[in-house]
Amino acid sequence: MSDFLLLEPSFSSVTSVCAEHNEIYQIFCRTHDKLLCHNCLANHDGYKGIVPLTEITKTVKSSSNFHETQHGLTDIQENITKIQDGFLLSLKSIKEEELILLSEIDTTRKKIDDHLDKLEHDLRKKVLEEAAKPRAAIEVLLQKLDDRKSEITNHLHQMKYLETHASNFQTYLSLRHLSSAVDSAESFVNSMAKDESLEIDTLSLNFDQKIKIIVSNIQQFGIVQVQKKTYSVPLIRQKDKQAQLVGLGRPLIKSINDIKLRLFKTIDTTCRAIRGCEILPNGNMLFSNYTLTGRVLVFDSNGKRLFDDQMKTDRPCLDITGMGDNSKVAITCGFVHGIEIVDISKSKLKLQKRIPTKKRLL
């Protein structure tokens, strides 16, 4: 039952009933390559090639058509499998390439990060070094100002003491000393604030122009490209098929009894005992003459003898065959232990060499 169900798709795609007359097909017209019912014969009177369908179908399962179709389907199935294998291999390759590309991105990013980290570290170190210099100088100046300020504070205390407790003479003598201290302190203050302004250090930072270019001009880390490459898939093909399926617009396979021979060309070799022949790739024809004064004859594709002076072997020439190109042939001669290689590339045939054999070739 399960096997029958497997056949259902094949049955559903074809019909055994004539659509025009609703009759079962019983006849096949070879002339029109068409299935017919009895009512269809009215349109096919006078045509040859009408045969009962049973005559055609009785050997259909053993026909070369059936086997070639089966082989064709098998080949297509194998071809599809090969193509699938190719795409599966491509999927695997894409996954591997994806991991490699992501790894390369990580590696490149790490190199950039490491390099930028080093540049950042060096720049931060430079900022600390440059900031330390004016800081130290300012701290020294502040210490000097504190010292001066302490001196001025002491001098102000002295002035208060002189005002309240010292005599005029003591005040006069001390004032001379204090006036000198005031001049020194004022000179110090003026040196700190020239033209009533302080000269102080400030820090600034100018980034390298290339860093600015990276930030402003580089808009992408990289470019991912998909490139096509050829993957070889040697497909299996049934060449030179002449057998076709019946009813699908394909010629019906004929029996060997139906094959008719047609005379294509007659070549007058002027010889009575031709035993072998060969057609070379260039269309030239070779013939071997089995007579005691055996000869090798060469004709072109039109049947014209090429060499007037044919090669005489002085022994019966049995068979002949071409060798690779159009320049050499091998012949066997009666009652001789060997094969002879003949050069036919020149205007005169020439025996090139003889290959001995253990047994005599008849």
Is 329 found in the same domain as 228?
no
pLDDT averaged over every residue in the chain? 80
Of 57, 66, 63, 65, give the one whose Cα is nearest residue 24: 57
80-89, 152-161, 207-216, 342-351, range with the lowest pLDDT = 342-351
For residue range 230-258, list pLDDT tens digits in order.
Answer: 777 777 776 534 434 444 444 455 566 66
Same structural domain, 237 and 339 = no
With beta carbons less than 8 A apart as the criterion, state whether 75 and 236 touch.
Answer: yes
pLDDT band, very low/low/confident/very high, at 8 (cuts 50, 70, 90): low
* Closest among 151, 140, 138, 148 to 190, alpha carbons compared: 148
The predicted structure's pLDDT at residue 14:
66
- Does residue 269 form part of some domain? no
CA distances from 248 to 18, 42, 252, 335 (A): 15, 23, 10, 57
Domain contains 101: yes
For residues 122 and 234, membership in a common domain is answered with yes
Q: How many domains does the chain fold into?
A: 3
0.75 exceeded by pTM: no
Quick check: is 173 in a domain? yes
Q: Above 60 in pLDDT, residue 15?
A: yes
Looking at the structure, tell me whether residues 209 and 346 fall in a common domain. no
CATH assignment of the domain containing 28: 3.30.160
Quote the Cα angle for 65-21-19, to 5°.
50
Do 39 and 100 fall into the same domain? no
> Which pLDDT score is estimated for 132?
92
191 in the same domain as 302: no
CA atoms within 13 A on the CB side of 63: 20
Q: Are residues 213 and 79 in the same domain?
A: yes
Residue 342 lies inside a defined structural domain of this protein: yes
Shared domain for 254 and 237, answered yes or no, is no
Q: Are residues 87 and 215 in the same domain?
A: yes
pLDDT tens by residue, 32-51: 788 888 888 777 666 677 88
User: Does the residue 207 lie in any domain?
Assistant: yes
- Judgement on whether residues 170 and 221 belong to the same structural domain of the protein: yes
Query: Are 281 and 303 within one domain?
Result: yes
Q: Which domain holds residue 338?
A: 274-361
Residue 9 lies in a domain: no
Same domain, 303 and 355: yes
In a domain, 265, yes or no: no
User: Angle at which helices 64-164 and 168-192 pack, to 10 degrees?
Assistant: 160
Q: Is residue 2 part of a domain?
A: no
